[in-house]
Amino acid sequence: MDKIGTGEWKPRKFIEEAVRQIGRTVGAGEKVVCALSGGLDSTVVAFLLDLAIGERYVAIFVDHGMLRQGEPEEVASLFKKRLRGRLIHVDARERFLKALRGVTEPEEKRRIIGAEFIKLFKEKALSLGDISYLAQGTILSDVVESGAGPGGAAIKAHHNVGGLPEELGFKLIEPLRDLYKDQVRLVGKELELPEAILQRQPFPGPGLAVRIIGEVTAGKLAILRQADAIFREEIAAAGLGQRLWQYFAVLTGIRAVGIKERRRHYGDVVALRAVTSTDAMTAGWARLPGDLLEKVSQRITGEIPAVSRVVYDITSKPPGTIEWE
């Protein structure tokens, strides 16, 4: 496959080639299963499958409850509108919350979510019976960052690489394995995916669980989801989304005193994180306009009763990481 930078790589050509290859690989009577996360990579894979084998695939979307506001609905609605395969929507919110009860250590959260995800996906996939292939949205940086590729060093345990294939015994289809994120985006554009998916920020597999410092509970998830939605809304309204690599809210686990309705209020501290980057290996804290930060802070403290204070993270990577956990 042509690599970006040689001047020869074209999304249309890539799609044709990938579709041909999937069509050649999957025999006439065979079926494919894929995991849909709502992110760009797995969505592009589902679209490629759709073009290559029509309805002979099953997409499994596991809602682990750690997604941002509106995401589960968006996944389901896009699938229904544009794709022909079968979508299995697994509502596993309770199950993940239970598995995470009492857990505060970040890598332990990742491990539990990863293991639980694999267990659940495996159960569902195997219950379908006659599946031969697993299609995954693994891209080049996943391979490198998980330590699997040249020069890779695992700093955080990412669960989107490995694990599933060995567990399931299905043969693997990974059409995006040689692509950089930018290339996947160009492929997505060529496939006419909605702007919201094309411009979607990278989002960690364990989701909001690693943006809640300390134990994850339904109540904390609701607070974080609302704060995060406000921040995203205001960034979009200011037209800044495309200039940032990631921007999100963190529930810090710290409580602070503030004033609400003229009374002392002891509440949660929300941190806002926005970074610029080209590859997530290094990142700079984004110099967001003061007026924007002011508006976000006012909205979060005004609209979310539990929150007393909002702070802005001014740590670059290194020495910080992009996520707080």
CB of 313 to ligand XMP, least distance (A): 12
Q: Which residues bind ligand XMP (CB under 6 A)?
A: 110, 155-156, 158, 160, 202, 204-206, 246, 280, 317, 321-323
CB of 211 to ligand XMP, least distance (A): 9
CB of 7 to ligand XMP, least distance (A): 28
What distance in Å separates the CA atoms of residue 190 and residue 319, rounded to the nearest whole number? Answer: 37
CB of 112 to ligand XMP, least distance (A): 12
Please count the other Cβ atoms lying within 10 Å of the Cβ belonging to residue 166: 9
With respect to ligand XMP, which residue has the nearer C-beta, 160 or 308?
160
- State whether residue 105 is helix, strand or coil: coil
Q: Which residue matches tokens 């930060």?
A: 293
With respect to ligand XMP, which residue has the nearer C-beta, 165 or 258?
165
What distance in Å separates the CA atoms of residue 265 and residue 256, rounded to the nearest whole number? Answer: 8
CB of 202 to ligand XMP, least distance (A): 4
CB of 230 to ligand XMP, least distance (A): 20
268 burial (CB, 10 Å; 0-12 / 13-18 / 19+) is buried
Ranges of H-type helices in the chain: 11-25, 40-53, 71-82, 93-99, 106-127, 140-145, 164-168, 181-190, 195-198, 218-237, 290-303
Buried b (16+ CB within 10 A) or exposed e, 59-70: bbbbbbbbbbbe
CB of 127 to ligand XMP, least distance (A): 26
With respect to ligand XMP, which residue has the nearer C-beta, 85 or 137?
137
Contact 52, 26 (CB under 8 A): yes
Strand partners, 283: 317
107 CB contacts (<8 Å, ≥6 apart)? 156, 157
What distance in Å separates the CA atoms of residue 116 and residue 110, rounded to the nearest whole number? Answer: 10
